[in-house]
Amino acid sequence: MQNRTLRLNEILHIRYPVIQGGMANIATGSFAAACSNAGALGLIGTGGMDEAMLRREIARCREITDRPFGVNIMLMHPEAAAFVRIVCEERVPVVTTGAGNPGQYMEAFKRAGIFVMPVVAAPILAKHLEELGADAIIAEGCESGGHVGEMTTMTLVPQVCDAVTLPVVAAGGIADERQLRAAFALGACGVQIGTCLLASTECPIHENYKAAILAAKGSDTVVTGRIGGTPVRVLKNRMSRAYVKAEKEGADREELERFTLGALRRAVFDGDVREGSLMAGQVCGQVTRIRPVAEILRELCGDGIETDRERAGGKQS
C-alpha cells in the first residue's frame, strides 16, 4: 500500500504530479512520449486501436522517451483482453482502465508488475477495486471531457479518499494551478488532465478541433447519451444538439448510435466541427491559447508546489 503523504510525482518517479489522460484516437505513442518528456505521466489511449497499432505505439513511445509512461485500456473495447495481454508482455509500467471494472485482469497486471490505476466515477467502485489490488484510484468527475458519471470532482474526490486508503488522483475540471491546489485540498495526490492538453502544440488532433476548444466558453459543452446511452461530454455543435433532441424525443439506442458512430474520428482526423464528436470538458472555457505541453504543465504546477512541500517538512500541504 502506498503512503497517503506521497505526491503522485514521488509515487511514479516523474517531475509533476500530473497524468495526461489516455484519450481515444488522440493519445498516440508520440503524444504520450511528449507528455512524459515534459514531466507528466504520458498515457497511450487504446480507444480506436487494434493489437498491432498498440504494439507499434508502445514501441514508438519507447523510441522517444526513456521516462515512465502508461497505457489506458477502455474495458468496453472489444479487444480489451488482448490489450491486457500486450501491456503485460511489453511490461508497460502503468495501466489505467476506464469504463468498467478491471477485476478479472488484476491478477495478470500484478504478475507483470504493472502499477494499476482504475478510473472511477463513484466511491463504491473505488472501494471494491482497492480490495482487488488496485495501486491507486483516479476519481473522475463529470466536468471532464469524454465518458462521464454523475458526480462532480468536488463531491467525488473526498468521498473516494474516505472510501479507500490508496492514493487518489483527481480528474475532471483541472486546467490551472488553482484547480490543482483544490485537488490537493480535497485529498488527492495528483491530477489527470485531458481537455487542456487538446490545445497543445504536440496534440495530434485537427486544427479545427483545437480552434473549437479555444473558442468554446465553459457553458458550451453538453452531455450526450444521458437518457438513451453512454453519457459523453462534448462541445455543443449540430451533431450533439440533434443527438440530445432525438434523445428527448425517445429515440432508441440504435438510432442514437447513428449520430456517434465514427464521430470522434470525424472530429480528430477530418476536423468536422459540425458533425463530429468534439469531446471536451468544462475547462474549455479556460483554454485560450495553443502552447507546448511543457508550458502547460509548468503553468499548471506553478513554482509554489515544491516550496509548499519543503515548507511543510515533506508532509502534504
Ligand X SMILES: Cc1cc2nc3c(=O)[nH]c(=O)nc-3n(C[C@H](O)[C@H](O)[C@H](O)COP(=O)(O)O)c2cc1C
Nearer to ligand X, 251 or 296 (CB): 296
Closest CA to 223 of 291, 152, 314, 164: 152
Question: Cα separations (Å) of 93 from 68, 96, 124, 197, 210?
Answer: 7, 10, 26, 22, 30
Structural contact between residues 171 and 282, judged by C-beta atoms closer than 8 angstroms: no
CB neighbour list of residue 187: distance below 8 Å, 6 or more residues apart: 157, 158, 161, 168
Choose, by CB under 6 A, the member of 39, 102, 123, 146 that binds ligand X: 146
- d(CA 90, CA 58) in angstroms, rounded, equals 8
- Least Å distance, CB 307 to ligand X, is 25
Nearer to ligand X, 24 or 94 (CB): 24
- Least Å distance, CB 314 to ligand X, is 29
Binding range to ligand X, per CB under 6 A, among 63-71, 172-180, 235-243, 294-302: 172-180
- Least Å distance, CB 240 to ligand X, is 13
For the segment 246-285, give every residue that binds ligand X (CB under 6 A): 279-281, 283
- Least Å distance, CB 98 to ligand X, is 3
CB neighbour list of residue 27: distance below 8 Å, 6 or more residues apart: 20, 21, 42, 43, 44, 45, 72
Residue 235: its H or E element: strand 232-235
Nearer to ligand X, 198 or 251 (CB): 198
Choose, by CB under 6 A, the member of 28, 37, 65, 144 that binds ligand X: 144
Nearer to ligand X, 218 or 309 (CB): 218
Residue 55 burial by Cβ neighbours in a 10 Å radius (0-12, 13-18, 19+): middle
* 202 near ligand X, judged by CB under 6 A: no
* 45 near ligand X, judged by CB under 6 A: yes
Q: Kind of pairing, strands 232-235 and 146-147?
A: antiparallel
Structural contact between residues 177 and 197, judged by C-beta atoms closer than 8 angstroms: no
The site string for ligand X over 98-117 (x = CB under 6 A, - otherwise) reads x-------------------
Geometric angle at alpha carbon 99, from 163 and 24, rounded to 5°: 130
Choose, by CB under 6 A, the member of 84, 119, 213, 246 that binds ligand X: 119
Kindly provide the residue ranges of all beta strands, DSSP E only, lying in 27-147, ordered along the sequence: 42-45, 69-74, 94-98, 115-120, 137-140, 146-147
Choose, by CB under 6 A, the member of 22, 167, 225, 228 that binds ligand X: 22
Choose, by CB under 6 A, the member of 24, 88, 142, 156 that binds ligand X: 24
* 145 near ligand X, judged by CB under 6 A: yes
Cell of 34: 511528449
- Least Å distance, CB 289 to ligand X, is 16
* 41 near ligand X, judged by CB under 6 A: no
Nearer to ligand X, 11 or 263 (CB): 263
- CB environment 200-238: b (16+ within 10 A), e (fewer): bebbebbeebbebbeebeeebbbebbeebbebbbbbbbe
Per rule CB under 6 A, count of chain residues that contact ligand X: 28
Choose, by CB under 6 A, the member of 93, 173, 190, 225 that binds ligand X: 173
Choose, by CB under 6 A, the member of 8, 12, 14, 23 that binds ligand X: 23
Residues that bind ligand X (CB under 6 A): 21-24, 26, 45, 47, 72, 74, 98, 119, 140, 143-146, 171-174, 192-195, 279-281, 283
